[in-house]
Amino acid sequence: MRMIVRQENKRRFLGACLAGLIAIVPKLASAAGPPDSPSLRAQEDPRESSLPSAPGSRADSNLRDQPDLVVTSIEIDPEGFVKYKVRNRGKASTGKSFIVAVYIDEAKKGQVLHNPLEGQAEEVRNAREARIPPCRPFSVTAAADSLNWVAEAAENNNLRKASYPGFCPDITASIRQDLMDLDTRYRSKVTVKNEGNGPMPEVNVSTIVVPDTHWPGGNPPTPQQCISDPNQPCERDSRKVGPLLPGQKDSFHVGKKRLRSTTLFVQVNISCTLFPPEQCAEQNIQNNVVKRVLGPH
């Protein structure tokens, strides 16, 4: 009898232990998780987290927390200098100054120093040493942070290049009577215009006006005589005009107000203020001297 009781107790004890083990096993399996869980793969393979991230992902957001300089546009200003826009696409300030180098036809023509640029900010600057060549095709390259002073999220997006056809100005002038005082008097009006397809740098416009009462022998003084001899009866005017974009013009009066019965000889001379002269190449240099006789005829 005692043996039967002991065997029964042993059987009950083993059954209880087996039931406990059965209850524990599922809990251990659920705590470990499936063997192909994405989170486990990321932890087990660190190369996964270093792969390029898709735009908008958390890793991409971390990259944008650093500065990231890019040149977003290149233009040519009215004087023929390169104008560009640089932007910090990152959220963080550059923390340092940086230089933008400008190349024309692969030759470095200018360097512009920028102060530290805040995140998401941009600046527009002119490279005042980089003037385009007139009347022939050319290319412009702008390199942000050309000396690598700034640690950026991306270093392969600092360059921007643009190619252009030849831009060639054509500067000329027109002369007309500007009637005044109920059409009884007039003044000479000069209009300087850029008729080309390229920007015109600043030019000097010299004008002489000679009334007919002072034309010995019927011929007005020459421009050289007006310039060299202050006693010649010439009304002189000299001024800077420009820069002018294609199609733009500037008008002004020269000489005194005269009776409409007066005849005037007017001559306009346009000359470039730049040096060397190649910087002032034009489509037509023959129309930089304009002459006209104004009067009652």
Helix extents (H) in the chain: 2-32, 38-44, 47-50, 58-64, 223-228
Q: 157 and 67: one domain? A: yes
The whole model's pTM is what? Answer: 0.65
Q: Which residues of 116-139 are buried (b: 16+ CB within 10 A; e: fewer)?
A: ebebeeeeebbbeebbbbbeeebe
Count of positions (residues) in the chain: 297
Q: Hey, is 103 helix, strand or coil? A: strand
Quickly count helices (H) and strands (E) in the chain: 5, 14
Per-residue pLDDT, 203? 93
User: Tens digit of pLDDT for each residue in 105-121?
Assistant: 999 999 999 999 999 99
Distances (CA, A) of 120 to 69, 151, 275, 283, 285: 10, 16, 40, 43, 47
195 with 116, same domain: the answer is no
Query: Do 130 and 195 belong to one domain?
Result: no
Shared domain check, 197 and 154: no
Q: What is the pLDDT of residues 193-246, one digit of tens each?
A: 999 999 888 999 999 998 876 666 667 777 778 878 888 888 999 999 999 999
Q: Which residue has the higher pLDDT, 146 or 276?
A: 146
Same domain assignment for residues 148 and 177: no
Do 221 and 153 share a structural domain? Answer: no
Q: Are 81 and 130 in contact (CB under 8 A)?
A: yes
Look at residue 187 in the predicted model and tell me its pLDDT: 96
Residues 284 and 180 in one domain: yes
Burial letters 253-275, b for 16+ CB under 10 A, else e: ebbeebeeebbbbbbbbbebeee
| pLDDT tops 80 at residue 94 | yes
Q: Write down the pLDDT at residue 182.
A: 93
**Who's near 33: CB < 8 A, 6+ residues apart?**
39, 40
Burial class (CB in 10 A: 0-12, 13-18, 19+), 283: middle
Whichever domain contains 95, its CATH number is 2.60.40.10
Q: Is 32 a domain residue?
A: no
Under DSSP, the state recorded for 196 is S
pLDDT of residue 272: 87
Query: Considering the domain boundaries, does residue 39 fall inside one?
Result: no
What is the Cα–Cα distance from 123 to 146, expressed in whole angstroms? 16
Number of structural domains (the chain) is 2
Query: Over the stretch 143-162, which tens digit does the pLDDT of each residue have?
Result: 999 999 999 999 999 999 99
**Residue-number span of the structural domain to which 95 is assigned:** 62-164
Higher-pLDDT residue of 44 and 227 is 227
- Pair 274, 175 in one domain: yes
90 plus 116 within the same structural domain: yes
Q: Are residues 193 and 279 in the same domain?
A: yes
Residue 178 and residue 96 in one domain: no
pLDDT at 9 (0 to 100): 53
37 lies in some domain = no
179 CB contacts (<8 Å, ≥6 apart)?
185, 186, 260
What Rg do the C-alpha atoms of the chain give, in angstroms?
40
Tokens linked to 214: 């002072």
d(CA 64, CA 70): 13
Helix (H, G, I), strand (E, B) or coil at 98: strand
The reply to whether 134 and 181 lie within a common domain is no
